[in-house]
Chains A and B, each alone.
Chain A
């Protein structure tokens, strides 16, 4: 049995003492709420009164009775299925573009990164005006031609796609990750491919893409998580409308917790969300063995 020397023990104690403020914070503000929310998900709890144990009832209601939840799931799945690939493709294309030698490249990089720095509330207000059906830039032009305005945020068909469009606009951080990844691709691989007679498209497909798949994996997973938890822009721009077509998972969760006093049900929702995210993450990780290439592996 390995025995710790006094010195090692003292070092360990010092180490734990130094990180103890963080450990306490983690325990109180992260671990405890997670465990508490699991317990509350099996209760009827309105925050104010004592929780009442109801077993699996919240989960059963979610799965079998809550018609709104089905709609919410449909909205969220659509957002993830379209929004995640769209965001990643846009970020990738931008990164490819800005990885080329060109004049004013630093300035363009800054410009495309800027949306990531704009606070969501400010961005929402700007978009609200840009997309305004009567006075907005696009619709003013459309109206001037006597065409029907485009109901970007006011039609069931358009609203989700408009939110996805705005999501694509704010891909500055993903673009930077791809840029870093692209710059890490060894020049020698391109030279070797060129020597082997690969054309530009082949070099892209057989060298660039495989070498950037680790970054892609990272971004797919973070985007998946982010889109399942999508809240701010949707809440600010459409608040779930029109006709609840943008009522996403987190918005519905928030409503239950803070508007309907159903913290128990909201806790169950949050655990279902966690399980869904975990499932998608695990599947993505598992599938990554087939499509992610780590240089040198």
Chain B
């Protein structure tokens, strides 16, 4: 074989050598000359006394060149959300797109996921959850089970998210045992409002500027505004005080419970891990609810409610259709009603209190957390995305599409020009700043079970199966027993 020819073995050996050499060279620290300032000490004699002084001299030294930060691997963040109205989905797509265009090496795959509780549970159990999720799961159930990433270190290091920029109570509802599992995002805002159809009030000779402040006054308005036909069918309903309001029937971290708050107690004590339903205030609230439902007629009410489904955001819903006068509802109602019943005038005010607390105006600013499942492999990038989703820019995109607020205080300016078409929203924004009591939603480990039992208790009242006293006692017993059974470790601690 000619000495000039290169065999395949030689070629491979050469390539290996060249590769190794290249690798070594690449790994060598690069050296450059750099002028640095150096502090030197020298002895000088000042006025006959030797003294040590420090002086700065310039010196050229050879230093290792600082290696540039390695280029970050492109990453994809998978983002799940449940909201599915076209305007909502468009807003979320825009947010994902905008973030993807920031040239930060991160792309976001935004995915609308129906029945997210089921899907998230299965995904977490299967070790393949999304990197970021927002909305519509039993948040506390996941916090308690340690499947979400504690975000405290991220939050402490973040320049973009400062806890103090958010409305009080929001972050508190995302904390379990000292660890923060979510950042208020996408749909946050005052949950307690009492919104009325002004036309109904005027027809009944009631003053929209003097809304009922107490439960007794609410009862009076009910007697004036609920109308039935000769057969007892409801033609116009003033208020469905519990089941017609997610705010009233809730017992969730993103929405405090109306009746306990109104009566001035919390249904859950996170320090002692105990429920607090069996008390005179709860009985008083149950008694009032029973009086209302007995007067309306439970079957008539169910028939009426089922006849007008669709909530506030479709014209056939009871409120937009002008069949129901009032509702306990969150800040989102003005925007939704503006869309579904653009010609109807609405006014909002404080939710009622018992006479003994007439002057105590209460509010809860609740919201949905955005969170990172622990199994995500791109948690840093996921948090960067969260920083954007909770930024004022993203909040503004969502607000323009849906009239939903975010969690930042900056958005709660009652004089912001973009809400001039929603006068009742102005009240909600003011209320967050002027409430006497601003409560946080309860962080209850067995939240879903407790909520169902709470609603079951009211249902039993409606159907005359229990007295208010019995309902309160049974509720306390059921939720306490379930907690002890499901989370014995919490009670031991």
Contacts and interface: CB of A to CB of B under 8 A. Distances in A.
Interface of A: 44, 46-49, 68, 128, 132-136, 139, 143, 146-149, 151, 153-156, 241-244, 255, 258-262
A153 B305 CA distance: 11
Interface string B122-142: 101100000000000010011
Given A149-B233, A244-B459, A258-B118, A46 B145 contact: yes
A47 B448 CA distance: 15
B117 A259 contact: yes
A194 B124 CA distance: 69
Nearest to A238: B306
B308 to A, nearest CB: 7
Contacts of A139: 307
B231 to A, nearest CB: 4
A258 B303 contact: no
Choose among A132, A135, A242 the residue with the greatest number of B CB atoms under 10 Å from its CB. A242
A3 B72 CA distance: 66
Contacts of A149: 231, 233, 303
Given A241-B302, A260-B448, A261-B141, 4 more contacts: A48-B125, A133-B304, A143-B233, A241-B459
Contact of B448 (A143, A147, A155, A259): A259
A260 B147 CA distance: 16
Contact of B306 (A68, A132, A156): A132
Contacts of B463: 156, 243
A154 B306 contact: yes
B232 to A, nearest CB: 6
A134 B448 contact: no
Contacts of A146: 229-231
Contacts of A259: 117, 138, 448-449, 452
B486 A151 contact: no
Contacts of B232: 148
Chain B interface mostly: helix
Contacts of A154: 299, 302-303, 305-306
A242 B456 CA distance: 10
A83 to B, nearest CB: 21
A171 B389 CA distance: 50
Nearest to B309: A128
Nearest to A157: B299
Contacts of B304: 133-134
Contacts of B302: 151, 154-155, 241-242
A155 B299 contact: yes
Contact of B486 (A44, A135, A156): A44
- Residue among B125, B145, B233 facing the most chain A CB atoms (10 A cut-off): B233
A146 B232 CA distance: 10
B289 to A, nearest CB: 14
Nearest to B445: A261
Contact of A49 (B145, B307, B448): B145
B125 A47 contact: yes
Contacts of A128: 306, 309
Contacts of B229: 143, 146
B230 A134 contact: no
Given A149-B233, A243-B462, A48 B124 contact: yes
Nearest to A242: B302
Interface of B: 117-118, 121-122, 124-125, 138, 141-142, 145-147, 229-233, 298-300, 302-309, 446, 448-449, 452, 456, 459-460, 462-463, 465, 485-486
11 contacts: A49-B145, A68-B456, A143-B233, A146-B229, A242-B298, A242-B302, A243-B459, A259-B138, A259-B448, A261-B145, A261-B486
Given A48-B125, A259-B138, A151 B452 contact: no
A245 to B, nearest CB: 9
B303 A151 contact: yes
B117 A258 contact: yes
A258 B465 CA distance: 28
Contacts of A132: 306-307
B306 A260 contact: no
A137 to B, nearest CB: 13
Nearest to A67: B478
B242 to A, nearest CB: 13
Contacts of B125: 47-48
Contact of A135 (B117, B307, B459, B485): B307
A44 B484 CA distance: 12
Contacts of A68: 456
A241 B460 CA distance: 12
Nearest to B141: A261
A134 B305 CA distance: 9
A49 B306 CA distance: 39
Contact of B121 (A48, A49, A147, A151): A48
Nearest to B449: A260
Given A135-B307, A147-B231, A149-B303, A261 B138 contact: yes
A248 B117 CA distance: 21
A32 to B, nearest CB: 14
Most chain-B Cβ atoms within 10 A of its Cβ — which of A49, A151, A255? A151
B492 to A, nearest CB: 14
Contacts of B141: 46, 261
A48 B145 contact: yes
Nearest to A262: B486
Nearest to A148: B231
A138 B38 CA distance: 95
Contacts of A242: 298-299, 302, 459
A132 B233 CA distance: 13
Nearest to A255: B452
Given A260-B449, A261-B138, A153 B121 contact: no
Contacts of B118: 258
B299 A260 contact: no
Contacts of B147: 48
A267 B329 CA distance: 38
A48 B129 CA distance: 12
A49 B145 CA distance: 7
Contacts of A135: 307
Contacts of B233: 143, 148-149
B151 to A, nearest CB: 19
Contact of B308 (A49, A134, A155): A134
A264 to B, nearest CB: 10
B300 to A, nearest CB: 8
A153 B306 contact: yes
Nearest to A61: B485
A139 B300 CA distance: 13
A40 to B, nearest CB: 12
Top 4 A-B pairs, shortest CB-CB distance: A134-B307, A154-B302, A133-B303, A148-B231
Max chain B Cβ within 10 angstroms of own Cβ: one of A44, A49, A261 = A261
Contacts of A44: 485-486
A194 to B, nearest CB: 53
A258 B448 CA distance: 10
A143 B231 CA distance: 9
